[in-house]
Amino acid sequence: MAARILRAGDEAIREASHIVKGGGLVVYPTDTVYGLGCDPFNRDAVGRLFEVKKREAKPIPVLCDSLKSAAALAQLSGASLSLAVKHWPGALTIVAPLRVNLPFPIHQGTGTVGVRVPGSRQCLELIMLCGGYITGTSANLSGKPSSRSARDAAAQLGDSVDLILDGGTLTGRESTVVRVSGDKIEVLREGAVGVTDEITSK
């Protein structure tokens, strides 16, 4: 049965948060593209997310409601902390050493996790209601284009998720992804945020 699609208002966001906290999967709009969200601490939910996306064994990021929440999940210091302060909320994912235990599929044994504080009020509201964290992988089948509308997401994942929040058509680029080790910054994916100045200054 196809998932329900609800306009992303306060009531729908609260309902989505209840689904996430109950172990379900939701599609939600971010400041970049649509995301596929579950509780990143729930092993069964994370396993289901990988099955739904048909994702190979690659780590997935976690969206956080604040820098404080992100710093509780990942070790942000030096260059990574500077990047976070400068670019969050915004479209920069920072891969840094893990501080806590998360289900294996999230980090794939790398000892690191990608974290981001998005620059969307509705997205942040959802994350806060979910307890400060939600998985931030894109709402599409692996290898397919990112979803930029609820209709796009429904076409790819509609039979496999519990709720889709419709936030209209999104026009942002995917987030830039950087891996930070000490003061070394490595760009893993070019995206919406440029970090050339930070890299060349190190």
Dump pLDDT digits (tens) for 60-84.
999 999 999 999 999 999 999 999 9
| Domain count for the chain | 1
The residue segments making up the domain with residue 90 are 4-200
State the pTM of this model: 0.95
Closest alpha carbon to 37 in 10, 65, 61: 61
* pLDDT tens by residue, 23-60: 999 999 999 999 999 999 999 999 999 999 999 899 99
What pLDDT is attached to residue 181? 87
- Confirm if 90 and 191 have CB atoms less than 8 A apart: no
**Which residues does 39 contact at the CB level (< 8 Å), separation at least 6?**
20, 21, 23, 45, 46, 130, 131, 133, 134, 135
In 10 A of CB 18, how many CB atoms? 13
Read off the CATH number of the domain in which 100 is found.
3.90.870.10
Phi, psi of 15 (to 5 degrees): -65, -40
